């Protein structure tokens, strides 16, 4: 359960991701008329979902049923960023899943932070984009004797990522109903093999109840001015990974799994080109403890070896996109390893990174990301921190930037 500690911190951060504007100075109060005094709400949803996995699960069908219960807070327009994001909401949630493959997968639970971004389409109707990130537990992990067919997750703890889109109808100023499509993904980021990953997709229906009347709001028309800007970011991250050592002997793959460490230092120039998006071009310098890992049999005993320490380093170049929300952003990057000390043809030079950043202040940020190869195969988790410097930006544009 140690890995749950780092992910649990993320849950708390995400749940508060919309509490303040990214700019270093306070937002100017927006012109609103008597915002509700009680901004809290609860919502619950049910989803009959289909299971997606490459794992050869043997028990039951590829179906699942999920329940979520969430406690959230509605923004009221008293800060500029509330209006920029069409009066979004945020909070914490609890998830319970039941699978037809429960003998192999278990009965997982999760807790997560969420952010809901509304887009008014009518006086009493909205299209809602939801994103949630947290930690799940109570999985039945792979075991070569008791659960050999569950190659989806090699641990009983995994990160929990959820995204969805729905239509919300405001029945009254307190009650509303919504329905749409939801996708949930779980993985341990290759911290423990096997890790083919697991996802569910399906329709989702739910209800929301506000603790005080919250009248519907139209899309804000007096948004603060946005000015494009440039910034330099520098960061460092590290994590654990599990990998199968190569061999020239007849050793089962399960007996070749080993645990290693990985570290990465990154720097990039980013262009905040519109309110909700940034593009980046940067470089990575990394250390991979699994480089050149091999296991063989000498005199009847298994003997492990790796590449020398100075050959475990590599340099890469990447480009990427970052979708920005208040203090929270989702990123995706594509990279290519231009140099590595140990050239293993079995390890692709192309790599990807997807994850999230959390702005603790205007300069400092934290990150949680998965570095992958071949798009869907996780290589290792990254937990890290970094520093951001705005380039050629004035105080006026810092106030207006989102």
Whole-model pTM over 0.75: yes
**Choices 3.30.430.20, 2.40.30.110, 3.30.1490.20, 2.40.160.20: CATH for 229-400:** 2.40.160.20
Q: Using an 8 Å Cβ cutoff, are 68 and 45 in contact?
A: yes
pLDDT for the residue 322:
97
pLDDT for the residue 36:
64
| Rounded mean pLDDT for each run of 10 residues along the chain, 402 residues in total | 47 44 41 68 98 88 96 90 91 97 94 95 94 96 88 93 96 95 94 92 98 80 86 97 90 91 98 95 98 90 93 98 92 98 94 95 95 90 96 54 42
Q: Using an 8 Å Cβ cutoff, are 46 and 205 in contact?
A: yes
pLDDT for the residue 217:
75
- Mapping DSSP onto H, E and C, the string for the chain reads CHHHHHHHHHHHHHHCCCCCCCCCCCCCCCCCCCCCCCCEEEEEEEEEEEEECCCCCCCCCCEEEEEEEEEEEECCCCCHHHHHCCCCEEEEEEEEEEECCHHHHEEEEEEEEEEEEEEEEECCEEEEEEEEEEEEEEECCCECCCECCCCCCCCCEEEEEEEEEEEEEECCCCEEEEEEEEEEEEECCCCCCCCCCEEEEEEEEEEEEECCCCCCCCCCCCCCCCCCEEEEEEEEEEEEEEEECECCCCCCHHHHEEEEEEEEEEEEEEEEEECCEEEEEEEEEEEECCCCCEEEEECCEEEEECCCHHHCEEEEEEEEEEEEECCEEEEEEEEEEEEECCCCCCCCCEEEEEEEEEECCCCEEEEEEEEEECCCEEEEEEEEEEEEEEECCCHHHHHHCC
What are phi and psi for residue 216, nearest 5 degrees?
-65, 145
Task: Tell me where in the chain the CATH 2.40.160.20 domain(s) lie.
Answer: 2-210, 229-400
pLDDT for the residue 219:
73
Q: pLDDT tens across 102-112, in order?
A: 999 999 999 99
The dotted CATH code for 2-210 is: 2.40.160.20
Cα–Cα distances in angstroms (integers) from residue 234 to residues 203, 285, 384, 388, in the given order: 40, 12, 11, 7
pLDDT for the residue 286:
97
pLDDT for the residue 393:
55
């Amino acid at each position: 359960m140690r890995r749950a500690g780092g992910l649990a911190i993320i849950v708390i951060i995400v749940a508060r991701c919309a509490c303040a504007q990214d700019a270093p100075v306070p937002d100017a109060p927006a012109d609103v008329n008597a915002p509700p005094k009680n901004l809290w709400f609860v919502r619950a949803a049910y989803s009959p979902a289909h299971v997606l996995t490459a794992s050869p699960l043997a028990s039951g069908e590829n179906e699942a049923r999920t329940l979520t219960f969430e406690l959230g807070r509605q923004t009221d327009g008293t800060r500029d960023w509330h209006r920029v994001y069409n009066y979004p909401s945020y909070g914490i949630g609890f998830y319970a899943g039941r699978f037809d493959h429960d003998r192999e997968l278990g009965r997982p639970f999760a807790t997560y932070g969420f952010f809901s971004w509304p887009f008014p389409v009518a006086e009493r109707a909205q299209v809602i984009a939801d994103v949630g990130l947290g930690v799940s537990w109570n999985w039945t992990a792979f075991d070569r004797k008791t659960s050999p067919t569950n190659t989806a997750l090699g641990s009983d703890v995994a990160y929990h990522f959820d995204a969805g889109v729905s239509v919300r109808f405001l029945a009254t100023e307190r009650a509303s109903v919504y329905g749409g499509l939801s996708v949930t993904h779980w993985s341990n980021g290759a911290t423990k093999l096997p890790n083919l990953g697991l996802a569910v997709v399906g329709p989702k229906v739910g209800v929301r109840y506000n603790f005080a009347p919250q009248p519907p709001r139209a899309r804000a028309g007096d948004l603060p001015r946005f000015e494009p800007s440039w910034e330099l970011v520098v960061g460092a991250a590290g994590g654990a990974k599990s990998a199968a050592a190569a061999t020239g002997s007849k050793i089962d793959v399960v007996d070749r799994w080993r645990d290693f460490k990985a570290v990465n230092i990154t720097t990039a120039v980013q262009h905040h080109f519109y309110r909700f998006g940034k593009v980046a071009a940067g470089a990575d310098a990394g250390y991979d403890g699994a480089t050149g890992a091999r296991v063989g049999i000498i005199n009847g005993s298994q003997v492990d070896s790796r590449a020398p320490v100075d050959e475990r380093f590599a340099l890469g170049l990447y480009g990427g996109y970052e979708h920005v929300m208040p203090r929270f952003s989702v990123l995706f990057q594509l990279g290519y390893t231009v140099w590595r000390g140990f050239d293993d043809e079995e390890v692709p030079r192309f790599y990807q990174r997807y994850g999230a950043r959390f702005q603790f202040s205007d300069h400092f940020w934290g990150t949680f990301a998965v570095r992958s190869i071949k798009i869907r195969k996780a290589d290792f988790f990254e937990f890290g921190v970094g520093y951001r410097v705005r380039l050629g930006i004035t105080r006026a544009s810092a106030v207006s930037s989102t």
